[in-house]
Amino acid sequence: MEERDAGPLIRRAGTGRRRRGFILRPIRTEELISIVGPGGVLDPPPAQYLVDQTESRSVRGRADAVVLPASTAEVAAVLAWCYERDVPLTPRGGGTGYAGGCVPVEGGIVLALDRMDRVRSFDPPLWRIEVEAGVTTAEVRRRARENGLQFPPDPGAGEQSQIGGNIATNAGGPHAFKYGVTGAWVTGLEAVVPPGEVVRVGGALRKDVAGYDLRSLLIGSEGTLGIVTAAWLRLVPAPEAALPVVGLFAGPADGCAAIEDVVASGLQPATLEYLDEGTLRAAAPPFLDVSGAGFAVIAEADGSAAEAVALRRELEDLFAASALGVHAPAGPGAIAELWRWREGITFAVIGRRGGKVSEDIVVPLDRLREAVEETVAIGRAHGLDACSWGHAGDGNLHSSFLVDRSEPAQLDAAAAAAEDLFALAARLGGSISGEHGVGLVKDGQLRRVWPPAALELHAGVKRLFDPKNLLNPGKKLG
Ligand SMILES: Cc1cc2nc3c(=O)[nH]c(=O)nc-3n(C[C@H](O)[C@H](O)[C@H](O)COP(=O)(O)OP(=O)(O)OC[C@H]3O[C@@H](n4cnc5c(N)ncnc54)[C@H](O)[C@@H]3O)c2cc1C
């Protein structure tokens, strides 16, 4: 199988490292060990720290070492060490990203937050928690749930993804439709910024309008402005009940009309997800006969037990007006089975050919049908099977082109198809990413949707934070 490098990677040349034409001094790992201790440096870097989920499209990086600091002070010392020596640093959370964001493309060090996994404080009566960046998404959600609370952001790889990575990508998930993306739940951040300073913005606050919104600037910055070391998160009381309902439709026309009807009706489900025909064929649910259906919508009604039951009934009635069938799983087991199946869709789709090139474009809700249909047409034009699923209520597609990773021609065709997809998003008034970020794989695409003046401001922010361009170089800006 041909292995694709992730970009202009470090090349070892004698005793030096080469970065964009400059020969750099070799990394002295004993100096890093003096900062983080012998257990905190992995040299050579284990292969799993050089990839993320884009590995299924053969993206890999190279680094000189992996560093695992255990405290904010150690993160600051490592970044200062890098800044003094012109060593690139790539922050890494759980490695579940779909944009190649944590894949090191210019060598140097991968700074992994795995050891920063402490809950610093938790005040259930005040609905707030302060956690270090390496705490997993699932752990925060579990802690909240055990105390009758909810941390709503639910990106699909929660057992592995970290809060730091969720903040760095401003991750969403099915429940973002009602509750918003990760940034909506972050009231304060602790971060280390070049050349190695600790900054704290916000805190255990419910409101803060002083100053420019540096917190929001760091949220979604994909490790290019600073390293998130801890966050104060807002929680809410958990809903008493959450009851899903599935509508099966003939195709995108009926399905997308039903989605718009839900929004227009004023009903407020917690999720509003969709699967197109190709996805239904790749990931047919074991608990429901979907043969004959060309589109599925999953809505979840939450609230008090009575509210959830009433809302689900209204959603069932609304779907029934145009659906081929409506399925409302009863009981915790059947509901858990439905969501387990939904979470496994990406892997079922990968299983069709062994790989997929998937992009998370977002479009205005009234253009969703076109985006769903055009995804398939773009794939066909490039000789590839294509399908999509995603967060319908947010107009957010996971448009996927199925590839055999051992076929370089298919990877090239998928890359060309992705270009057409980004052009489609721009044409429909959308954006190139609704969830996963720009990272490495959407390098250069932002200019499709932003005017030059906005791009220049964007680049200026990066220069201000990171004048040496050592923090996650090659990402986000391009
Ligand atoms: C099965 C599956 C389902 C998914 N579903 C969703 C979904 O529904 N919604 C969604 O939004 N995403 C989804 N994702 C993508 C992914 O889980 C999210 O992007 C997640 O937020 C990445 O977190 P991570 O800790 O794995 O970050 P990584 O992949 O390690 O890194 C992602 C980016 O964040 C940066 N970064 C990581 N940690 C830090 C830090 N502490 N400080 C600064 N920068 C940092 C990295 O440099 C990189 O640019 C899914 C992924 C999988 C595999």
The residue whose C-alpha atom lies closest to atom 27 belonging to ligand 1 is 165
**Ligand 1 centroid from CA 97, angstroms:** 4
**Ligand 1 centroid from CA 25, angstroms:** 31
The residue whose C-alpha atom lies closest to atom 17 belonging to ligand 1 is 96
Which is the closest atom of ligand 1 to the Cα of 346?
1
pLDDT tens string 270-304: 999 999 999 999 999 999 999 999 999 999 999 99
Question: Does the pLDDT at position 318 exceed 50?
Answer: yes
pTM of the model: 0.94
Report in angstroms the alpha-carbon separations of 173 from 101, 134, 222, 396: 18, 19, 17, 10
Q: What is the DSSP letter of 436?
A: S
The residue whose C-alpha atom lies closest to atom 49 belonging to ligand 1 is 101
The residue whose C-alpha atom lies closest to atom 28 belonging to ligand 1 is 95
Question: Does the pLDDT at position 52 exceed 80?
Answer: yes
Closest alpha carbon to 377 in 364, 367, 366, 388: 388
Lining residues, ligand 1, CB within 6 Å: 52-53, 90-98, 101-102, 113, 133, 155-157, 161-162, 164-166, 168-169, 171-173, 222-223, 227-228, 346, 435-436, 439, 472, 475
Which is the closest atom of ligand 1 to the Cα of 343?
1
More confident residue, 300 or 16: 300
* DSSP run (H or E) holding 245: strand 241-249
The residue to mutate among 71, 161, 185, 298, having the most atoms of ligand 1 within 8 angstroms of its beta carbon, is 161
**Ligand 1 centroid from CA 356, angstroms:** 18
DSSP notation for 127-160: TEEEEETTSBHHHHHHHHHHTTEE-----TTTTT
Closest alpha carbon to 299 in 239, 366, 247: 247
Question: Does the pLDDT at position 377 exceed 50?
Answer: yes
pLDDT of residue 16: 39
Q: Please give the radius of gyration of the chain, using alpha carbons only, rounded to the nearest integer.
A: 23
Cα separation, 328 vs 221, in Å, equals 39
Which is the closest atom of ligand 1 to the Cα of 437?
19
Which is the closest atom of ligand 1 to the Cα of 391?
8
The residue whose C-alpha atom lies closest to atom 46 belonging to ligand 1 is 102
Q: What angle do CA 362, 219, 356 make, to 5 degrees?
A: 40
**Ligand 1 centroid from CA 218, angstroms:** 15
- Strand, helix or coil at 198? strand
Question: Does the pLDDT at position 18 exceed 80?
Answer: no
pLDDT of residue 478: 62
The residue to mutate among 102, 391, 443, having the most atoms of ligand 1 within 8 angstroms of its beta carbon, is 102
More confident residue, 206 or 195: 195
The residue whose C-alpha atom lies closest to atom 36 belonging to ligand 1 is 165
Which is the closest atom of ligand 1 to the Cα of 167?
21
pLDDT of residue 402: 97
pLDDT tens string 110-139: 999 999 999 999 999 999 999 999 999 999
